[in-house]
Amino acid sequence: MELYKLTITQAHQGLLKKEFSAVELTKAFLNRIKKTDKEISAFLTITEDLAVSQAKKVDNLISTSGKISVLAGIPIAVKDNILIKGIKTTCASKILENYIAPYDATVIKKLNELGAVIIGKTNLDEFAMGASTEHSGFFPTKNPYDLTRVPGGSSGGSAAAVAKNLCCCALGSDTGGSIRQPASFCGVIGLKPTYGTVSRYGLVAFASSLDQIGPITKTAEDAKILFEAISGKDPKDSTSVELAETRSLSTDRERVSDRAPSLKIGVPKEYFIKGIDPGVKKIIKGAVEKIEKLGAKIKEISLPHTKYALSAYYLIATSEASANLARYDGIRYGLSKSENKDLLDVYLQSKTKGFGDEVKRRIMLGTYSLSAGYYQAFYLKAQKVRTLIRKDFEKAFQKIDVIFAPVSPTPAFKIGEKIDDPLLMYLSDIFTVSANLVGLPALSVPAGFAGDLPVGLQIIGRPFEENKILEVGKIYAP
């Protein structure tokens, strides 16, 4: 049996039935990483010792009590902007190249308590700023479906690792599409939860009003398992939400194929603009037809401020980033450089040598839009446009249950294709940023292939209706 091909649910069954041990399962993935990760470069760190010792604990538990949680012994990869105590957390940045996390992120604490096995840290665009993983400070990750193409980003390492069966499932983070777009490019499932459902404690901050941690998996059922494991109110993140509140708003546990006739699907006309790849358009149309055949009602909707979402997003995200990244000052942790004398020199040398071009560009953009004379015209204006975008969605959701849209205008693009044109790279995020601005849950599910390249369908739900969008996702990836 090829253990590395198993989903969470299948691996759990195998462990319960003692078809294999947790150590065997973990080693199957570790061996596969050693043999094949050199083809795609998904991992920055392999946590072999940690993984094997955790797997041994799970095996002991199975032999003594026979009872384990559904995630016990399951090998998980973690994006390298999430802190694991005693393990390097680099954010794929030279400025944190040797940084060892002093504590666990809340999501890691939760996974540890459930007995999950963390097998390594995955590559990303530096500080999660990018759409291709080419902006990693160390090396780019390649798309398992075509090694000349990007895996998407910023959680490109996590998505590529799941697609290549280097882990059973993975954690990513999504600030403007960083879980959904790589999931689409790599043919796996990616969920960006409602803002506040997953604690951000121990996630290295990029844009605090937009960042969320979420699962990247092989099936919608697995995404649900991992999402439920990491969600919940955390006293260490004041913007996180009570679990009870989350659940009571979405008790939809029926099989969606049975109740598809009662579903109303909104298809926003602004998401099928000029410039969208014909292959992508065809696949999304096909996905709409599939659910229509099951009896769902399809309604064309309008989200009229969509064309302003990308500008609003980049103004807000870079502004928040410029404040968040001020902490890398060469004083308390991380890279520290100075040629001489004064404190200013430490700041200048450390940041200049430690940050890559994209991070510098975004810090400068944010600094600009927050600076005197531009705050009103840029930052504040963007936050007002954000209100208009939110109202578009509120109005639409009065008449429909979920929204169907593309994740990205194109399938995976070539390595090097957009790297020298930052604006072109930003345009890759055009369909994903709105969900972050508004805080809505959104899912990417594999819906078909354009040539040899996978294409994801984006399903956007009302706040806290993760269960509903996951149930709808099961129609496409059980």
Partner 1 sequence: MIKKEEVQHIAKLSRIKLSQQELKRFQGDLSSILDYFNSLKEVDVSEIEPTFHPAEYFFGKSLGKMRKDKAESQPSEVVNKLIEAAPDKKKRHISVKAIF
**Residue numbers 337-356 binding partner 1 by CB under 8 A:** 338, 341-349, 351-352, 355
Catalytic site residue from 155, 158, 178, 250: 178
Task: Using DSSP bridges, classify how beta strands 212-217 and 169-174 pair: parallel, antiparallel or unpaired.
Answer: antiparallel
Contact with partner 1 (CB under 8 A): which of 70, 168, 312, 400?
312
What is the sign, positive or negative, of the torsion defined by CA atoms of 448, 451, 452, 457? negative
Let me know if 472 is exposed, middle or buried by CB neighbors in 10 A (0-12, 13-18, 19+).
buried
308 three-class SS: helix
Minimum CB distance to partner 1 smaller for 61 or for 427: 427
**b/e per residue 431-458 (b: at least 16 CB within 10 A):** bbbbbbbbbbbbbbbbbbebeebbbbbb
Catalytic site residue from 79, 110, 142, 418: 79
Contact with partner 1 (CB under 8 A): which of 4, 145, 271, 314?
314
Minimum CB distance to partner 1 smaller for 166 or for 437: 437
Contact with partner 1 (CB under 8 A): which of 122, 199, 322, 467?
322
**Residue numbers 103-132 binding partner 1 by CB under 8 A:** 103
- By the rule CB under 8 A, 361 interacts with partner 1: yes
Beta carbons of 222 and 189 less than 8 angstroms apart? yes
β-bridge partners, 88: 100
Contacts with partner 1, 193-232, as mask; x by CB under 8 A: --xx------------x-----------------------
- By the rule CB under 8 A, 367 interacts with partner 1: yes
Minimum CB distance to partner 1 smaller for 222 or for 358: 358
- Residue 127: count of CB within 10 angstroms of its CB: 29
Q: Which helix (H) or strand (E) holds 54?
A: helix 48-64
178: annotated active-site residue: yes
Q: What is the 3-state secondary structure (H, E, C) of 165-193?
A: CCCCEEEEEECCCCCHHHHHHHCCEEEEC
69: annotated active-site residue: no
- By the rule CB under 8 A, 387 interacts with partner 1: yes
Residue 190, both tokens: 């990616």
What is the sign, positive or negative, of the torsion defined by CA atoms of 192, 159, 74, 206? negative
Catalytic site residue from 154, 231, 408, 434: 154
Task: Give least dist CB 48 to partner 1, A.
Answer: 22
79: annotated active-site residue: yes
17 three-class SS: coil
- By the rule CB under 8 A, 315 interacts with partner 1: yes
Contacts with partner 1, 233-262, as mask; x by CB under 8 A: --x--xx-x---------------------
Where does this chain touch partner 1 (CB under 8 A) — which range of 8-16, 115-123, 132-140, 387-395? 387-395
76 three-class SS: strand
Contact with partner 1 (CB under 8 A): which of 32, 386, 418, 474?
386
Minimum CB distance to partner 1 smaller for 141 or for 322: 322
Where does this chain touch partner 1 (CB under 8 A) — which range of 65-73, 285-293, 378-386, 398-406? 378-386
Name the residue type at position 114.
L
**Residue numbers 165-184 binding partner 1 by CB under 8 A:** none
**b/e per residue 246-284 (b: at least 16 CB within 10 A):** beebbebeeebeeebeebebbbbebbbeeebbebbbebb
Segments of 341-401 assigned E as strands: none
Q: C-alpha 159: how far from its chain's center?
A: 8
Minimum CB distance to partner 1 smaller for 52 or for 348: 348
**Residue numbers 437-476 binding partner 1 by CB under 8 A:** 437-439, 463
Kindly write down the DSSP assignment for every residue of 188-247, as one continuous string: -EEEEPPTTSB--TTBPPS-TTT-EEEEEESSHHHHHHHHHHHBS-BTTBTT---HHHHH
Minimum CB distance to partner 1 smaller for 149 or for 362: 362
Contact with partner 1 (CB under 8 A): which of 294, 390, 417, 450?
390
- List Cα–Cα distances, 119 to 87, 98, 350, in angstroms: 11, 19, 31
Minimum CB distance to partner 1 smaller for 238 or for 251: 238
Q: Which residues have a catalytic role annotated?
A: 79, 154, 178
Instruction: Name the residues that contact partner 1, by CB under 8 A.
Output: 99-100, 102-103, 195-196, 209, 235, 238-239, 241, 305, 307-308, 310-312, 314-315, 322, 326, 329-336, 338, 341-349, 351-352, 355, 360-361, 363-365, 367-369, 371, 377-378, 380-388, 390, 422-423, 426, 437-439, 463
